[in-house]
Chains A and B, each alone.
Chain A
Amino acid sequence: MSTAALRIALVGNPNCGKTALFNQLTGSRQKVANYAGVTVERKEGRVLTPSGRVLQLLDLPGAYSFDAASPDEVITRDVCHGRYPGEAAPDLIVCVADATNLRLHLRFVLEVQRLGRPMVLALNMMDAAARRGVRIDVAELQRQLGIPVIETVAVRRDGAAALIARLDRQDLPPAPTVTTDHDLHIAVRALLAATVTMPSRTGSVDDALDRITLHPVFGLAILAVLMFLIFQAVFSWAQPLMDGIGAGIAALGALATQSLPDGALKSLLVNGVFSGLGSVLVFLPQILILFLFILVLEESGYLPRAAFLLDRLMFKAGLTGRAFIPLLSSFACAIPGIMATRSIQDPRDRLTTILVAPLMTCSARLPVYTLLIAAFIPQRTVWGLFNLQGIVLFGLYFAGVTSALTVASVIKRLRKDKSEHALLMELPSYRIPNPRDIAIGLKERAEIFLKRVGGIILTLIILLWFLSSFPAAPVDAALPAINYSLAGRIGHFMQPLFAPIGFGWQICVALIPGLAAREVAVSALGTVYAMSGSDDAVATQLGPMIAHQWSLATALSLLAWYVFAPQCLSTLAIIRRETGSWKIVAIAAGYLFALAYAGAFVTFRIASLWS
């Protein structure tokens, strides 16, 4: 018996249940990374067979054909052909096909078979096939294909037992003999005729559900209700958890540092490390709740339906229906939104979505909006029905959405590659989501966020702490300590640049710590105006103070700035991670900065004329 682990590649059409099978086989022994240089996820896992052999299982991206149409399919093709740089050719290919959808999936099985490598066909979802009355002559299929054919039910415990038993055998299945004289479609039809009996009607559940969920009126209504629910959950369920995490980390910081003397080290730990840790972890509940919904909707088969309903509207703006969920997520936070763009296959559509996602009004902007609106916009009823403050807030959200759509259509115009973007999207059968697959998906998202993004955010926050704390204020300081720090100096230095849009040096100074997370700008303003106490206390005192010191034009200008400004380093960090390109980060930051400056400039000038 060889000591090297047998390398097995798992391939199959999208929606064949391949990932569920991978989860079933490997459990939590998975390693998720990216293929070198591209943002396609590389998932590998280890399987320990009953006889003690270790199998190395690579879950290749779903593909309809080796005639690759997306970066995912290029990887699947090249790894299967054994010509992907840095990936050894697989010893064995396990091709997964949905037994209820053999007409489509067998074509790809035949394409894989023509590679002439040792392979096994896993006929997945045999339970669903049986329920629908699809009968498959497995023995005959095995004979005609010349490869072992094994039935699996990926969502059932032990549903992959037969497959594991086959993989556990010492002998590899022989490489199939390859005949290339037949057209693949003709070969599929001949195979189906010889081995599969299908009832005349299948998928009555799908028919009934689609009649409602894709209905021009009811379908959109259901979508709206679902979105409302998700919003509610993200904002209200997450709040107690976020408060708890914030308080917990602060208490932990206090406990860990109570024996330390006051000084730079203590300040670094409390205001740098622990508050940095807090501002990273505080996003976690929102991200997990959001991804819980997205994963359930995705696993159930609803997500492509939502994309179907909205495709036309989004296509007009230079996007795709698939961009809907990432953009919706960005209302909570652009980080999970940009992470969710992985479901968009066309790289051009994905890039556009990533670039406009930061324009969706994320929840971190709300504290700033609330502060400024409460301080400057009078509580007045307009047109006998609406609250003026509410209208302004709505206007800010609306400005975000319209600018995103405008930017997307500008990107569409500017793009050199004008070739048609395909939709060509399969709407899979509805399924009841499997808790294990959801749990594994959530764990993956949380890990990506904590490991890769968290590291960058934490580093930046500590750097910002350093800038705001050094050098220390002189003993007889007349102004708050932050003014004497590097951040304060940078703020004063920046002031001439921001004077045309009405920002005083206090705002400039507050913008710097606000880079870590937008809402920090509120407490930073409090620091600049030498206030102390909890964030809420600062906000209540701060309102009257700035109402007295700033002009209305300055306040409106700052609001306009906040609609666009790229001042969330975490977002830039996730763009870097998801695109792998500093150039894209520079483009995103550059255009957002230009928009923010222009928006604030116009607002300031117009408002100055008025008042």
Chain B
Amino acid sequence: MRLSELGHHIVATVTAVEDAGAADPIARRLRDLGFVAGELVKIVAHGPVQRDPMLVQIGYTRFALRRAEAARVQVTPEAA
């Protein structure tokens, strides 16, 4: 599933970051920020309007991603 669809406080593993179009700078930046296969992520907060942007915890860092940005990240939720 996509990171943008992940529920609140559910831990998931990143499987891939997909480019939206050729040489997508945002996808490249996401990888630079540590969104790479095997990392654990969790949504810890949402913006007040239309639940956008979302606050993603990866390692000990928190990133605010807009939904379109989070949709580039493929994740697998941990079995509860």
| Residue contacts A-B, CB under 8 angstroms, 30 given | A67-B29, A67-B32, A103-B34, A103-B58, A104-B33, A104-B34, A104-B61, A185-B31, A185-B34, A211-B45, A214-B45, A308-B45, A309-B47, A311-B47, A311-B64, A312-B48, A315-B66, A321-B53, A321-B64, A420-B20, A422-B26, A423-B53, A423-B66, A423-B69, A424-B63, A424-B69, A425-B63, A426-B63, A426-B64, A427-B63
CB distance from B33 to the nearest CB of A (A): 6
Given contacts A210-B55, A309-B47, 15 further A-B contacts (CB under 8 A): A64-B29, A69-B25, A101-B61, A103-B58, A103-B60, A185-B34, A210-B62, A214-B55, A307-B64, A312-B47, A420-B20, A422-B69, A423-B64, A425-B64, A427-B62
Given the known interface contacts A107-B32, A185-B36, the answer about A308 and B59 at a Cβ–Cβ threshold of 8 Å is no
Give the chain B neighbours of A101 by CB distance below 8 A.
59-61
Bound complex: CA A427 to CA B33 (Å):
13
B68 touches A (CB below 8 Å): yes
CB distance from A345 to the nearest CB of B (A): 11
A304 touches B (CB below 8 Å): yes
Give the chain A neighbours of B52 by CB distance below 8 A.
311-312
Bound complex: CA A313 to CA B48 (Å):
9
Q: B49's contact among A202, A203, A313, by CB below 8 Å, is which? A: A313
Bound complex: CA A100 to CA B28 (Å):
24
Bound complex: CA A185 to CA B28 (Å):
13
A45 touches B (CB below 8 Å): no
Chain A interface residue count: which class?
A: 35 or more
Bound complex: CA A100 to CA B52 (Å):
28
Residue of A nearest to B47 (CB): A312
- A-B complex: 8 closest residue pairs judged by Cβ atoms: A103-B59, A216-B48, A65-B32, A312-B49, A214-B45, A427-B62, A425-B64, A185-B36
CB distance from A22 to the nearest CB of B (A): 22
CB distance from B70 to the nearest CB of A (A): 10
Residue of B nearest to A312 (CB): B49
On whether the beta carbons of B65 and A424 are closer than 8 Å, the reply is: yes
Give the chain A neighbours of B55 by CB distance below 8 A.
210, 214, 308, 427
On whether the beta carbons of A304 and B64 are closer than 8 Å, the reply is: yes
Cβ < 8 Å to A, chain B residues 6-39: 20, 25-26, 28-34, 36, 38
Interface SS of A by simple majority: helix
Residue of B nearest to A210 (CB): B45
Cβ < 8 Å to B, chain A residues 535-557: none
Give the chain A neighbours of B30 by CB distance below 8 A.
424
Bound complex: CA A214 to CA B53 (Å):
11
Q: A202's contact among B26, B60, B68, by CB below 8 Å, is which? A: B60
Residue of B nearest to A203 (CB): B60
Residue of A nearest to B45 (CB): A214
Give the chain A neighbours of B29 by CB distance below 8 A.
64-65, 67, 69, 422, 424
Listed residue (B29, B38, B50, B65) with the most chain A CB atoms within 10 angstroms of its CB: B29
A220 touches B (CB below 8 Å): yes
On whether the beta carbons of B64 and A308 are closer than 8 Å, the reply is: yes
Give the chain B neighbours of A504 by CB distance below 8 A.
none
A214-243 vs B, Cβ < 8 Å mask (1 yes, 0 no)? 101101100000000000000000000000
On whether the beta carbons of B61 and A426 are closer than 8 Å, the reply is: yes
On whether the beta carbons of B59 and A104 are closer than 8 Å, the reply is: yes
Bound complex: CA A425 to CA B69 (Å):
11
Give the chain A neighbours of B25 by CB distance below 8 A.
69, 419, 422
CB distance from A333 to the nearest CB of B (A): 29
CB distance from A58 to the nearest CB of B (A): 23
Bound complex: CA A425 to CA B26 (Å):
12
Q: B68's contact among A64, A207, A304, A420, by CB below 8 Å, is which? A: A420
On whether the beta carbons of A312 and B50 are closer than 8 Å, the reply is: yes
Residue of B nearest to A65 (CB): B32
Given the known interface contacts A101-B60, A103-B60, A104-B61, the answer about A64 and B45 at a Cβ–Cβ threshold of 8 Å is no
CB distance from B6 to the nearest CB of A (A): 17
Listed residue (A311, A312, A426) with the most chain B CB atoms within 10 angstroms of its CB: A312
Bound complex: CA A309 to CA B55 (Å):
10
Give the chain A neighbours of B59 by CB distance below 8 A.
101, 103-104
Give the chain B neighbours of A422 by CB distance below 8 A.
25-26, 29, 66, 69
Bound complex: CA A103 to CA B61 (Å):
9
Bound complex: CA A126 to CA B1 (Å):
38
Listed residue (A100, A107, A185) with the most chain B CB atoms within 10 angstroms of its CB: A185
Bound complex: CA A309 to CA B64 (Å):
10
Q: A64's contact among B32, B38, B46, by CB below 8 Å, is which? A: B32
